[in-house]
């Protein structure tokens, strides 16, 4: 019953020499997704954005950028290489490739070191690890071209490990419905006015994409006992929402630990009720982003149950 929910993430921003990305034909996107060993399940779109729900997470496309997340043993680094090859290295303004804390790194097709070696065959960039190897940590590869992000270009990622409580029980139950899950997660209140596209995986697992103008959110849930994982990512400004979105999701899903990764975030250092911030890091890079990594754990000494293997 093990599935690696934790994602790799790719963001690519193109410059004016590139075509408008949304004008590229479907063959291009099928090839991009196939490079990661994923498939397109469904899509929604509006004036600014095409949002694809994938067999292994999500792809968002705007005219000047893509954001792609894939989980499991997918090979997202190959989608990065595919993009650079097809669009040309000159058309790339900025690339950020991330790998989040994995449960079973040894089951992945490649290590982050392998991925960086592969990326550097196509484009130059710096690679970092934030966090100790024996604790939660986060890997980032970031190109060093002369690009300058706006301070308003913000992303927040909330990664929750070992969820528990009523919502977690429902997610691990015999039967679920997308309506019930989105109600339990209060998504209409938390992400008001978004068009959504959701999918229930068999036997377990839930994904949702939402778009509102150029804004997006995406949530992926791997509820499996012993290795549960939920990721939430959005580019909305979470410091000005009526509800504290991440605090509310943490309250509902009650993870034993969680990480927040922020790009130009205003909320990365906000404390969570009943959680300790075990470690934190803020790294400004020349391309105009300050990258935050904060690792939290429940404020209690957890009594562990041995797992029979």
| Residues recognised as catalytic | 4, 7, 57, 71, 207, 220
CA distance 232 to 196: 14
Least separation in angstroms between CB 248 and its own copies: 23
Q: Is 24 in the site for its own copies (CB under 8 A)?
A: no
CA distance 110 to 126: 18
Nearer residue to its own copies within complex by CB, 166 or 283: 283
Q: Is 136 in the site for its own copies (CB under 8 A)?
A: yes
Q: Is 256 in the site for its own copies (CB under 8 A)?
A: yes
CA distance 55 to 74: 10
Please identify, among the stretches 65-73, 88-96, 129-137, 231-239, the one whose residues bind its own copies according to the rule CB under 8 A.
129-137
CA distances from 293 to 95, 131, 168, 203, 217 (A): 18, 8, 25, 32, 19
Q: Is 28 in the site for its own copies (CB under 8 A)?
A: no
Q: Is 280 in the site for its own copies (CB under 8 A)?
A: yes
Among 72, 131, 223, 262, binds its own copies (CB under 8 A): 131
CA distance 189 to 155: 20
Residues in the interface with its own copies (CB under 8 A) total 46
Counting other chains too, the contacts that 55-61 makes at CB distance below 8 Å and 24 or more residues apart are 57/7, 57/207, 57/218, 57/220, 58/207, 58/209, 58/218, 58/220, 59/29, 59/32, 59/33, 60/209, 60/211, 60/216, 60/218, 61/21, 61/22, 61/29
Q: Build a one-symbol-per-residue string for 197-236: x at contacts with its own copies by CB under 8 A, - elsewhere.
A: -----------------------------xx---------
Which of 41, 7, 77 is CA-nearest to residue 222? Answer: 7
Burial label for 34, CB within 10 Å (0-12, 13-18, 19+), is: middle
Least separation in angstroms between CB 78 and its own copies: 19
Q: Is 277 in the site for its own copies (CB under 8 A)?
A: yes
Nearer residue to its own copies within complex by CB, 198 or 294: 294
Least separation in angstroms between CB 164 and its own copies: 12
Q: Build a one-symbol-per-residue string for 139-178: x at contacts with its own copies by CB under 8 A, - elsewhere.
A: x---------------------xx----------------
Any residues with CB less than 8 A from the CB of 43 and at least 6 apart, and which?
50, 51, 52, 53, 197
Among 134, 150, 175, 193, binds its own copies (CB under 8 A): 134
Q: Is 73 in the site for its own copies (CB under 8 A)?
A: no
DSSP characters for 155-204? Answer: EEEEEEES--SHHHHHHTSS---HHHHHHHTTHHHHTTT-EEEEEE-SSS
Q: Is 126 in the site for its own copies (CB under 8 A)?
A: yes
CA distances from 59 to 9, 38, 92, 99 (A): 10, 11, 18, 16
Q: Is 273 in the site for its own copies (CB under 8 A)?
A: no
Q: Is 264 in the site for its own copies (CB under 8 A)?
A: no
Among 279, 287, 288, 290, binds its own copies (CB under 8 A): 279
Q: Which positions touch its own copies (CB under 8 A)?
A: 101, 103-106, 108, 111-113, 116, 126-136, 139, 161-162, 226-227, 256-257, 276-281, 283, 293, 297, 301-309
């Amino acid at each position: 019953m093990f599935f690696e929910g934790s994602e790799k993430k790719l963001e690519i921003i193109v410059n004016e020499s590139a075509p408008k990305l949304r004008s590229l034909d479907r063959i291009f996107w099928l090839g991009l997704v196939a490079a990661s060993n994923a498939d397109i399940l469904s899509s929604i779109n509006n004036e600014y954005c095409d949002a694809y729900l994938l067999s292994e997470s999500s792809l968002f496309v705007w005219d000047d950028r893509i954001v792609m997340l894939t989980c499991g043993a997918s090979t997202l680094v190959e989608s990065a290489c595919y993009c650079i090859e097809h669009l040309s290295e000159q058309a790339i303004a900025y690339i950020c490739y991330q790998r989040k804390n994995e449960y079973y790194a040894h089951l992945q097709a490649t290590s982050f070191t392998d991925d960086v070696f592969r990326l550097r065959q196509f484009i130059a960039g710096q690679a970092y690890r934030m966090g100790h190897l024996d604790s939660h940590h986060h890997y980032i590869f970031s190109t060093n071209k002369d690009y300058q992000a706006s301070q308003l270009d913000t992303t927040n990622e909330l990664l929750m490990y070992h969820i528990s409580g009523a919502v977690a029980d429902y997610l691990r139950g015999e039967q679920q419905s997308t309506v019930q899950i989105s109600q339990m997660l209060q998504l209409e209140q938390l992400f008001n006015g978004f068009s959504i596209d959701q999918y229930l995986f068999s036997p377990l697992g839930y994904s949702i994409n939402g778009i509102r103008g150029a804004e997006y959110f995406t949530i992926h849930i791997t509820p499996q006992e012993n290795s549960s994982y939920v990721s939430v990512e959005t580019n909305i400004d979470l410091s000005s929402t009526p509800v504290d979105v991440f605090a509310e999701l943490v309250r509902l899903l009650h993870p034993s630990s969680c990480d927040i990764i922020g790009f130009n975030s205003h909320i990365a250092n906000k404390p969570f009720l009943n959680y300790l911030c075990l470690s934190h890091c803020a790294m400004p890079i020349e391309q105009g982003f300050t990258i935050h990594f904060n690792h939290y754990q429940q404020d209690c000494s957890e009594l562990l149950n041995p797992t029979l293997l």
